[in-house]
Amino acid sequence: MKDEPNYLRLTVELTVEVLDMEALQAAALAEIRHPDADLTEEERTEQAELVSSDPSGASALQWLIEPDHVLQLVDHISDIEPREAVLGVEPSEGPSEEEDDEEHDHDHA
């Protein structure tokens, strides 16, 4: 066994369709205004304006994704330890043709 750490980067790409922009933004604004949100009043105002002025909904969605949910992808694997997680949400043109052709099921054989 070598002494050097061995790192693997897991990349997941998920395209979602926004079905109700107003509801998405309202849910994000509720999170921003929640008393448990670790934000100053200035930060709350800034984030609320960012969510409200983003026509793509990306800013709203980013507020609603729980980091713990992402880490559940690997929680059941005892031989690894998550070291860094970076999440980005950006506008998309929609599913790629490649995604349309793929089977979304995978086997654990």
d(CA 58, CA 92): 10
- How confident is the model at residue 68, as a pLDDT? 85
- pLDDT per position as a tens digit, 31-44: 999 998 899 999 99
Domain assignments of the chain as residue spans, ordered by start: 21-101
- How confident is the model at residue 70, as a pLDDT? 86
The parts of the chain modelled with pLDDT lower than 50 are: 101, 109
Contact 49, 33 (CB under 8 A): no
d(CA 42, CA 46): 6
- How confident is the model at residue 109, as a pLDDT? 47
